[in-house]
Structure 1
């Protein structure tokens, strides 16, 4: 039987054959948990939007980023050539956001009915951490119609300007076991009512306040302390750039990493961060944000 292994990265391309797991391999590398994700169904417009972000995020040539993304999205349209497509997506936000992006594009494809299979993540370890024998022993489960439907609904909410439908969906008992926690973690990176920082921004500033002076230190600590959002070195770099931008930036420019007076005040509760404009999936984050995360209510509220 012809099988394709679909993964949001290249980290299993060598490991699967080494473990004796046969089949083709497709890497879906679009880091959709970062940057703009407004989606009106126009794939060409989407590829242009994402290529511009990826080129900046990864310091790539724009044409190269557009070509790579175009190849990967085109390959998703040809999955019906395989008798089985095994989906290797873990519990964390990076993987779950990529999973709903992929499934939103596959949900209406009748030729793929009964051909999509979800590999069982344990909710703790990443697949590359597993020994070869464990990888080889994993048994895929058929993706249900309900899982496909909820993934498509989650993507619609993820890409929307209003985060409330996504929050409502994330609080349901979902058929995709890790989706709700990942989407709520995504929403907690909206500016908070308390200080204007998103959760990851606050964690980074606290690490700097605690003595971290290099991005590598921050990366290691963030990974160790957050089981749902598995950050990368590029994500940390983007966060540092963002927090060093603007007249009231909480991080000083230049190395080593240092808090500004505003950053110290924000962490002490005597100041408030005003975010620089950015896209958080479909949501616009502005100096006076239209949407905030309220930690007391543990939910999204409209800005005033």
Structure 2
């Protein structure tokens, strides 16, 4: 029996054989939970969009990134050559965003029906944190048609410029166990009605206010406080750079990390942040953002 292990990273490539788990390995490395994700169905345009973002995000050559992403997306077309495809995706936003991107591309591939299996995550630990014996004992569950359909639906909503469909989807009972919580965490990184900060931006400012003076210390604080969005060092760096830009920057420009008077005022509830232009999935974030997260309603609202 031919088995393929599909994972949004290379962190299990050497661990699975060590745990006695046989099969080929495919890494899907597109970090779709960050950066622009406006998807209009043109894969060539999509690869160009994502390659430019990933290259800038990671400080890599855009041509090399484009080739790597192209190989990975192309490899998804060959999954039917395997008797079973085991999907190793955990509870956090990084994994869940990658999972729904992949399911959106596989939803119409009828030859894969009965070949897709979801590995059980416990909602607390990442797979690489498990002992080899615990990994080997995991039993995959067949991915149902409804799970595939809901994953594709979630991707359509995630990549749309209007976030209300994604907000509504997270309020339903979903068959993918960790999807709703991850997507709500994604939506909470829209600017908030109360101060204009997204949740990760506010968490960075609070970590610095509590004494974090380096990117590493900020990352450790954020990971300890948030089980749903496991930020990487590059995500932390990008958020810090964002908060260090503009005439009313919340963070001072020089190391060590320190709040500016604007940052202190934001945390005290005495100022409002005007975010620099960026994309939150398919949603445009602007200095006067069209879409906001309202913590009183625990949902998205349109400004104007």
How would you bin the TM-score normalised by the shorter chain? over 0.9
Q: Secondary structure at the match of 2:37?
A: coil
Separation of aligned partners in 2, 1:140 and 1:201 = 36
**Which residue of structure 2 lines up, in the alignment, with residue 66 of structure 1?**
66
Instruction: Give 1:278 shift.
Output: 0.2
Q: Secondary structure at the match of 1:36?
A: coil
Separation of aligned partners in 2, 1:258 and 1:69 = 37
Separation of aligned partners in 2, 1:199 and 1:136 = 36
Separation of aligned partners in 1, 2:96 and 2:13 = 19
**Which residue of structure 1 lines up, in the alignment, with residue 152 of structure 2?**
152
Unaligned residue ranges in structure 2 (runs of 5+): none
Separation of aligned partners in 2, 1:3 and 1:53 = 32
Q: Secondary structure at the match of 1:77?
A: helix
**Which residue of structure 2 lines up, in the alignment, with residue 245 of structure 1?**
245
Q: Does 1:170 align with 2:157?
A: no
Q: Does 1:37 align with 2:29?
A: no
Unaligned residue ranges in structure 1 (runs of 5+): none
Instruction: Give 1:250 shift.
Output: 0.7
**Which residue of structure 2 lines up, in the alignment, with residue 217 of structure 1?**
217
Instruction: Give 1:205 shift.
Output: 0.2
Q: Secondary structure at the match of 1:151?
A: helix
**Aligned pairs (5 A) from 1:46-125:** 46-125=46-125
- Post-superposition Cα deviations, 1:211-253, rounded to whole Å, max 9, x if no partner, equal 1110000001100110100000000000011111111111111
Separation of aligned partners in 2, 1:260 and 1:8 = 37
Moved more, 127-136 or 242-251: 242-251
**Which residue of structure 2 lines up, in the alignment, with residue 185 of structure 1?**
185
Moved more, 256-265 or 34-43: 256-265
Instruction: Give 1:101 shift.
Output: 0.2
**Which residue of structure 1 lines up, in the alignment, with residue 21 of structure 2?**
21
- Post-superposition Cα deviations, 1:248-272, rounded to whole Å, max 9, x if no partner, equal 1111112111111111111111110
Separation of aligned partners in 2, 1:207 and 1:224 = 11
- Post-superposition Cα deviations, 1:260-289, rounded to whole Å, max 9, x if no partner, equal 111111111111000000001100000111
Q: Does 1:275 align with 2:286?
A: no
Instruction: Give 1:301 shift.
Output: 0.5
Moved over 6 A (4+): none
Superposition RMSD on alpha carbons, in Å?
0.6
Q: Secondary structure at the match of 1:4?
A: strand
Q: Secondary structure at the match of 1:78?
A: helix
- Post-superposition Cα deviations, 1:32-73, rounded to whole Å, max 9, x if no partner, equal 000000001100000000000000111000111101101100
Instruction: Give 1:303 shift.
Output: 1.2
Separation of aligned partners in 1, 2:115 and 2:245 = 47
Q: Secondary structure at the match of 2:201?
A: helix
TM-score (norm 2): 0.99
- Post-superposition Cα deviations, 1:101-129, rounded to whole Å, max 9, x if no partner, equal 00000000011111000000000010000
Separation of aligned partners in 2, 1:76 and 1:131 = 29
How many pairs are equivalent? 304
Separation of aligned partners in 2, 1:168 and 1:216 = 35
